Structure formats: C-alpha cells, structure tokens
Amino acid sequence: MARWEPNARERLERAALALFVEHGYDATTVAEIADRAGLTKSTFFRHFADKREVLFHGQDMLTQLFSDAIRTAPPAATTVDCLAAALESAAVAFTWDRHDLAPQRRAVIAANSELQERQLLKRARFASAMADALRARGADDVAAGLAAEVGVLAFSTAYARWAAPENRQPFGEIAHAALHDLQACATTLGK
Amino acid sequence: MARWEPNARERLERAALALFVEHGYDATTVAEIADRAGLTKSTFFRHFADKREVLFHGQDMLTQLFSDAIRTAPPAATTVDCLAAALESAAVAFTWDRHDLAPQRRAVIAANSELQERQLLKRARFASAMADALRARGADDVAAGLAAEVGVLAFSTAYARWAAPENRQPFGEIAHAALHDLQACATTLGK
C-alpha cells in the first residue's frame, strides 16, 4: 500500500535538481533521486514518469493555461490583450517558493543538448497552442502565427528575468514589461 | 574502389521519398532505398549519414545562407532588409527541378511525430542563426529575437506556398510577399 508522504513531489524535485547539478543529468538515476529525498523509487514513479519529467512537468499545465486564457478573453480583447491574459495566467506557476529552483533548472538544461532540444520543443508547443487559440477567436493564420511567437518570446524573456537570482519582481509584472518591449519592436519592424 | 554514379544523390533522395510515402518512414531501410535507386548501401552512406538526413540535409546549408545574407547586408540595411536578403538567398534551394519532391517530403514528415519534432528543431535553429546574425549587426536581444521569428515565419509560410503542387511562382517572390504580410501584422500588433 502506498503511504502518504508529506511534500513528496517537491522533495523529489529538489533532490533531483540538486543531483543533476552535482553529478550531471545523464549520470543521475531515479534510485539516487528517491534515496536523496528519503523516499522510494515507487513513490518517485507515482509523481513523475521519468527523470526528464522532473524538469518539464510544467509544460502541460502552461500550455493549458495559455490556451484557456486566450480562448476565454472577452470578445473585444485585442490580440495583445489576449497575449497579456495568457502571460498573466502563467504567473501561478512562478511563485516565490519556486524561485530558488529556477537557476538550477536552467543550469541543468544548459549543460545537456538533449534537454535543450526538449526545451525548444516545449517553446514550439506553447507557440502552437497560442496560435490555435488565436485562430479559434478568428485571427488569420499569419496574424495568429506571429502573435503566438510574440507571446512565446515574451514568456521566455520574462521567465529568464524572473529566474535571475537577484530578481524580486513578480512574474506578471515582468511579463507585461516584456510584452510591451516586443510590441515596440513590432512597431519598428512594421515600418 | 568507389565508382562514380551519375546523379547518385538525387536518385537516392527520390528513391527514399518514394519508399517513405509507400511504406512509411520507419518501415523503410537504407538497403531498400539503395536497391530502389539501383545503387549500393555504401553509395548511400557516401551521400547521407542515415535515412533521416535525406529529409533534413538542407538544414545546414539554409542556416549558413540565412546567416551569411544577414551578416553581409549593407550597413544601412534595416532589419526587414536583412530578413528579405536572407529569404532571397534561400531561393537557390527551391528550384523547379526540386518542386515535385516537396509534397512527398511534407507528407512523410506530417505522418511521423519524431520527424515533426526534428522539423520544429530545424525551425528553432534557423531562428537562432538569424538572431545571432542580427545581434552581430548591433540589434538588441529583444529586437533580434522578434525579427528572427518573423524571418522564420516568413520562410515557413513561403515554403508551404511554394511547395503547393499548383504553385508556379518562384520562391523569392513568394517569400517577399510573406514577409510583407508579416510586417503588416507586426504593425497591427504594435498598436
């Protein structure tokens, strides 16, 4: 019978990130992660499909949040309003109690080409979800495609700024500023 | 001793695409491709590292063309001028003698999730090369990132239009029109 383990998921995530940083992602096993967290392998597998999911488990949730925010924005919302709503909705995933994990996660991904590919695919999926949601609101293909790339660029820029160790600004504010910067660049490109 | 085989590369590419369409990408072996082309496996491996490279061998050349065109554009060229130069430079890869291969290639990739991932990564690499080249000209990170995404969107849109079986317009013209459409969308987003 499975025991209830307080904070098992977070303990596993912290143990995994610490080991990935110390020994490298490839060299770390699920058994070592479970051991460092003081839990069993079977507890690990109740929370994560594999060690890669420790790094990418937020992807499905964010995709859903982006998509829902765009689809449920008021009918009068402009494309940029929709992107702003999508970015705002992601703020729930970037709270202060997770801030110290971000530099570790980024370092682990930066050190491994397979994980970098996974990260690029994650970005492409976000763009695709945003473009689908914008098309569902009536945007044409070109406009939806461009707006989705702007949304994903705003998200990545905001995440990098939020995750910086010295940052104390909340994600939502940073994301709004990033979107605003991109809008200014879009104006310049449009000339 | 390797014999010189006239048009070996193109024969192998055409044989591979035909087999991928007929039997599926996963089910096709290099031996079957060589056999269909009337060549040997060792001739195949002199031209391609593996069967996946038959579909993606253009990636390195295009990355280099995009990057070179942006880096060597005149100092007074705007960002959009640089993107236009990059797209124009790609036209050498999309000549009429290759037009009939494009629908086959697209069908093969659309049918296979691993190849779709590879295609997304290829796009991400194009964007990264364009952004690097624009930064080398002095663009800031945000502007370079956005412009690169616009460049890649223009490229993908143009490729899809060029590859349509009924298309008779040259790639360069189509790419210019796609870039122009995206510029108009950028203006709308910037408002």
Q: Which residue of B has its CA nearest to A123?
A: B124
Rg (CA), chain B: 18
Read off the pLDDT of each residue in A57-76 and give the average, rounded to a whole number.
95
Q: Which residue of B has its CA nearest to A140?
A: B185
Contacts of B18 (CB under 8 A, 6+ apart): B36, B104
Could you say which DSSP state residue B91 is in?
G
Instruction: Tell me the nearest-neighbour CA distance from A147 into chain B, angstroms.
Output: 7
Identify the pLDDT of residue A4. 67
Chain A residue numbers touching B185 (CB-CB < 8 A): 142-143, 146-147
Q: Percentages helix, strand, coil for chain B, rounded to the nearest 5?
A: 75, 0, 25
Instruction: Tell me the nearest-neighbour CA distance from B87 into chain A, angstroms.
Output: 16
- Convert chain A into a string of H (helix), E (strand) and C (coil): CCCCCCCHHHHHHHHHHHHHHHHCCCCCCHHHHHHHHCCCHHHHHHHCCCHHHHHHCHHHHHHHHHHHHHHCCCCCCCHHHHHHHHHHHHHHHCCHHHCCHHHHHHHHHHCCHHHHHHHHHHHHHHHHHHHHHHHHCCCCHHHHHHHHHHHHHHHHHHHHHHHCCCCCCCHHHHHHHHHHHHHHHHHHHHC
Are B142 and A188 a contacting pair at CB < 8 A? no
Read off the pLDDT of each residue in B157-174 and give the average, rounded to a whole number.
94
Are A79 and B121 a contacting pair at CB < 8 A? no
Q: Is the pLDDT of residue B3 over 70?
A: no
Residue with tokens 């009536």, as numbered in its chain = A138
Structural contact between residues B109 and B54, judged by C-beta atoms closer than 8 angstroms: no
B80 touches chain A (CB under 8 A): yes
Residue with tokens 């829902």, as numbered in its chain = A68
Q: Which residue of A has its CA nearest to B140?
A: A185
Q: Which of A94, A98, A101 is nearest to A17 (CA)?
A: A101
The count of CB pairs under 8 A between chains A and B is 88
A160 touches chain B (CB under 8 A): no
Tens-digit pLDDT profile for residues A96-130: 988 999 999 999 999 999 999 999 999 999 999 99
A120 touches chain B (CB under 8 A): yes
Tens-digit pLDDT profile for residues B62-119: 999 999 999 999 999 999 999 999 999 999 999 998 899 999 999 999 999 999 999 9
Q: Which of B59, B159, B168, B162 is nearest to B115 (CA)?
A: B59
A93 touches chain B (CB under 8 A): no
Tens-digit pLDDT profile for residues B129-138: 999 999 999 9
Chain A residue numbers touching B130 (CB-CB < 8 A): none
Identify the pLDDT of residue B130. 98
Distance of CA A14 to the CA centre of its chain: 17
Residue in A149, A180, A183 to test binding to B, most B beta-carbons within 10 Å:
A149
Distances in whole angstroms, Cα of residue A28 to Cα of each of A35, A55, A119, B73? 11, 13, 19, 47
Structural contact between residues B171 and B158, judged by C-beta atoms closer than 8 angstroms: yes
Tens-digit pLDDT profile for residues A154-182: 999 999 999 998 999 999 999 999 999 99
Letter string b/e over residues B124-143, b meaning 16 or more CB atoms within 10 A of that residue's CB: bbbbbbbbebbbeeebeebb
A116 touches chain B (CB under 8 A): no
Q: At what angle do helices B141-163 and B113-136 cross, to 10 degrees?
A: 130
Structural contact between residues B144 and B128, judged by C-beta atoms closer than 8 angstroms: no
Identify the pLDDT of residue A5. 72
